[in-house]
């Protein structure tokens, strides 16, 4: 595999080398400061279990995929309100923020299209049906146990996921040692408030988790108001020692404003979504699971567009109803040195819309998959394959092969290759049909061959390092095809190569402080035209300093820098500096399981600019504070 970076300017590589030099020097200093190697276990992900790579729980250190696990503790330290804020600090991810604080936000992984990222809650897809957008700006974080991110295609396990997978794993009352809960409230400038309550526990053979919250803001720009109410519960009945039933219910109701879009119109959006899941889980022994799950999602969206002068017209009203039914049957087994999973998925989606081209459109998918992991001394190998039939397109076969090798103690090598795909969303196939766009029901799935080589080590004294190099070769890429001077359609007309690297470094605690940084770089090229894919090329740098005295005081300073090239000339944004956030919390009361904590957050404390489009400027400096009460 040959990786070329001719298009990368020398200063980008200089930044990367400077960071490595800094942390190599830091590691030497730390060797003098602390000698307890046990603290190396504090690195996130080292002992974490993840479901996303293979659909059975396994140690992250045994996974060949390039992945990240973000815990509930990490999320609380950030004082994040939505999943978008959490993902915005992950190397290799780019979050398109449309305004701020709960409004529309969509992630891209390693330069992929937004629609190429599969967003899931407990393994169930929640992308929008019409456009397949992974909207993470309206998902609250309080009910999240952890987030698993797989960078690169995961189609052998999950199907349509050319860019990667984000799996949100929710909390459960089964892991709580007592009946308890939490109340939290925060308030900031521009009427920004986040109010949450949760309760969880166990009563005999029944466990429960319940969450409710409200997130609101008057907005940080003209016509940018946001309000969201959400509810989530997970109930588990242990019918016997080997059989249990799990029911989840999630509801989200949102009202938001779109700001002055291109200075031509104002947009008001209201939406709600109801998710219901029922699962039957049979566990005859600790190494065997058989589960049958059903999920129903109903989404409603209403958009009102009012045009600004000199345009004179009546407001435009658009309504869309999305319905998605999913079911899965999964069998997992651990036997000796093998971990095995086999199963099938079924999905049926339908759209009701006032747009003629989209109204009544539907899509069915049925898939069969198998994964097997062989756990050998210092070595793991994981082959997998998935067959998927889509009613609106061709059948797809997606193989994958991953391996890890412990070269020596504290040095792990990874290799992963896979064939991935992305099913064209109904919106691109049928949703055009307007004055300027034509439908194309003959769209095929976009496909990719992906290769990733990485290493992870704590052999550097008191410094953990993770690095990876990747290439994604995309064929049948969807792009706009010009039909006339005034009309176009979406078609499979391009080939694309995306390649780059990622590096993450983290130190052990120095006086209870951990320093970390991450760099992600992507260089993309259109192989059909030979031109660079500017909107997919760029780099991110994340830095953080985290203080935790394991008692009363916690502090976190996060900095995020992004440089992405955009082809839109008239509305391009600015990326001239880091945006830093500072979070601090103090425990002021503790008695048994009862705790009271105060917290304060300063957003964009240096008041810097970092946005992709002038019409969606990021908020300047703003502050919020609040209190958490646990019992």
- Give the mean pLDDT of the chain: 86
Q: Return the closest-CA partner of residue 107 out of 124, 89, 122, 123.
A: 89
Instruction: Render pLDDT for 526-573 as a digit per residue (tens, 0 to 9).
Output: 999 999 988 888 899 999 999 999 889 999 999 999 887 654 455 566
Q: Which segment of 5-9, 267-271, 468-472 scores lowest on mean pLDDT?
A: 5-9
Instruction: Render pLDDT for 371-392 as a digit per residue (tens, 0 to 9).
Output: 999 998 889 999 999 999 999 9
Q: Which CATH superfamily is domain 10-630 in?
A: TonB-dependent receptor, beta-barrel domain (2.40.170.20)
DSSP 447-502: EEEEEEEEEEE--STTEEEEEEEEEEEEEEEEEEEE-SSS-EEEEEEEEEEEEEEE
DSSP 505-516: EEEPPBTTEEEE
**Are 26 and 20 in contact, with CB atoms under 8 Å apart?**
no
Percent of the chain exceeding pLDDT 90 equals: 60
pLDDT at 434: 59
Q: Return the closest-CA partner of residue 537 out of 497, 493, 490, 492.
A: 497
Question: In angstroms, rounded to a whole number, what is the distance separating the alpha carbons of residues 588 and 630?
Answer: 12
Instruction: Render pLDDT for 158-183 as a digit per residue (tens, 0 to 9).
Output: 999 999 999 999 999 887 667 899 99
Question: In angstroms, rounded to a whole number, what is the distance separating the alpha carbons of residues 536 and 162?
Answer: 14
Q: Which segment of 11-15, 245-249, 311-315, 347-351 scores lowest on mean pLDDT?
A: 11-15
Q: Which two tokens stand for residue 163?
A: 């860019």
Question: In angstroms, rounded to a whole number, what is the distance separating the alpha carbons of residues 98 and 617?
Answer: 8
DSSP 61: G
Q: Which residues pair with 396 in a beta bridge?
A: 388
pLDDT at 19: 39
Question: In angstroms, rounded to a whole number, what is the distance separating the alpha carbons of residues 535 and 489?
Answer: 20
Question: In angstroms, rounded to a whole number, what is the distance separating the alpha carbons of residues 156 and 460?
Answer: 35
Please confirm whether the linkage preceding 246 is cis (ω < 30° from 0).
no
Question: In angstroms, rounded to a whole number, what is the distance separating the alpha carbons of residues 618 and 611?
Answer: 6
Mean pLDDT of 356-379: 90
For residue 157, name the pLDDT band (cuts at 50, 70, 90): very high
Give the residue carrying structure tokens 């792990």: 412
Quick check: 590 pLDDT over 60?
yes
3-state secondary structure of 42: helix
**Are 421 and 178 in contact, with CB atoms under 8 Å apart?**
no
3-state secondary structure of 116: helix
Q: Return the closest-CA partner of residue 250 out of 170, 191, 306, 135.
A: 170
Which pTM value belongs to this model?
0.90
Q: Which two tokens stand for residue 559?
A: 């900095």
Instruction: Render pLDDT for 21-80 as a digit per residue (tens, 0 to 9).
Output: 333 333 333 333 333 333 333 333 445 778 888 888 888 877 899 999 999 999 999 999
Q: Dihedral, CA atoms, 582, 586, 592, 593, nearest 10 degrees?
A: -30
* Count of beta carbons in the 10 Å neighbourhood of residue 23: 22
**Are 414 and 401 in contact, with CB atoms under 8 Å apart?**
no
pLDDT at 424: 93
What is the phi/psi pair of residue 41, to 5°? Answer: -70, -10
Mean pLDDT of 182-194: 95
């Amino acid at each position: 595999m040959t990786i070329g970076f001719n298009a990368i300017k020398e200063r980008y590589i200089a930044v990367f080398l400077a960071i490595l030099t800094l942390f190599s020097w830091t590691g030497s200093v730390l060797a003098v400061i602390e000698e307890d190697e046990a603290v190396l276990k504090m690195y996130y992900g080292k002992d974490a279990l993840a479901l996303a790579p293979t659909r059975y729980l396994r140690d992250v250190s045994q996974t060949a995929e390039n992945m990240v696990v973000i815990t509930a503790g990490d999320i609380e330290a950030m004082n994040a309100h939505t999943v978008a804020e959490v993902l915005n600090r992950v190397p290799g991810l780019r979050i398109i923020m449309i305004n701020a604080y709960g409004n529309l936000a969509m992630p891209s992984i390693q330069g992929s299209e937004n629609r190429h990222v599969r967003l899931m809650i407990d393994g169930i897809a929640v992308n929008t049906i019409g456009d397949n957008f992974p909207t993470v700006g309206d998902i609250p974080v309080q009910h999240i146990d952890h987030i698993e991110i797989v960078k690169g295609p995961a189609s052998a396990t999950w199907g349509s996921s050319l860019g990667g997978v984000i799996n949100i794993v929710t909390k459960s009352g089964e892991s709580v040692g007592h009946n308890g809960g939490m109340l939290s409230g925060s308030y900031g400038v521009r009427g920004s408030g986040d109010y949450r309550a949760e309760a969880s526990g166990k009563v005999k053979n029944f466990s429960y988790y319940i969450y409710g919250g409200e997130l609101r803001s008057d907005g940080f720009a003209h016509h940018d108001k946001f309000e969201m109410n959400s509810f989530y519960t997970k109930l588990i009945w242990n019918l016997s020692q080997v059989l249990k039933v799990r029911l989840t219910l999630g509801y989200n109701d949102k009202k938001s404003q779109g700001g002055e879009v291109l200075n031509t119109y104002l947009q008001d959006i209201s939406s709600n979504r109801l998710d219901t899941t029922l699962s039957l889980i049979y566990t005859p022994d600790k190494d065997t699971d058989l589960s049958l799950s059903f999920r129903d999602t109903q989404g409603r969206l209403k958009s009102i567009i009012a045009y600004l002068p000199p345009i004179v017209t009546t407001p435009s009203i658009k309504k869309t109803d999305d319905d998605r039914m999913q079911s899965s049957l999964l069998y997992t087994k651990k036997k000796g040195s093998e971990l095995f999973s086999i199963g099938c998925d079924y999905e049926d989606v339908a759209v009701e819309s006032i747009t003629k081209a989209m109204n009544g459109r539907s899509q069915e998918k049925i898939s069969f998959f198998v994964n097997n992991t062989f756990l050998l001394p210092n070595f793991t190998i994981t082959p997998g394959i998935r067959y998927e039939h889509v009613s609106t397109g061709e059948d797809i076969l997606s193989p994958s092969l991953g391996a890890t090798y412990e070269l020596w103690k504290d040095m792990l090598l990874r290799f992963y290759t896979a064939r991935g795909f992305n099913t064209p969303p109904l919106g691109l196939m049928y949703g055009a049909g307007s004055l300027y766009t034509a439908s194309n029901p003959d769209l095929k799935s976009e496909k990719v061959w992906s290769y990733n080589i990485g290493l992870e080590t704590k052999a550097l004294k008191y410094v953990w390092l993770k690095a990876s190099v990747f290439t994604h070769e995309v064929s049948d890429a969807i792009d706009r095809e010009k039909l006339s001077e005034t009309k176009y359609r979406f078609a499979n007309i391009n080939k694309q190569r995306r390649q780059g690297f990622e590096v993450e470094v983290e130190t052990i605690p120095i006086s209870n402080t951990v320093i970390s940084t991450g760099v992600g770089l992507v260089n993309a090229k259109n192989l059909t035209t030979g031109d660079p894919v500017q909107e997919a090329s760029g780099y991110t740098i994340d830095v953080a300093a985290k203080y935790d005295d394991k008692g009363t005081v916690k502090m976190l300073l996060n900095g995020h820098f992004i440089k992405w090239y955009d082809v839109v000339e008239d509305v391009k944004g600015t990326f001239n500096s880091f945006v830093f956030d500072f979070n601090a919390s103090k425990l002021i009361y503790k008695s048994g399981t009862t705790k009271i904590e105060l917290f304060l957050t300063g957003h964009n404390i240096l008041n810097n600019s970092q946005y992709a489009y002038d019409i969606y400027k990021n908020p300047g400096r703003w502050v919020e504070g609040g209190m958490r009460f646990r019992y």
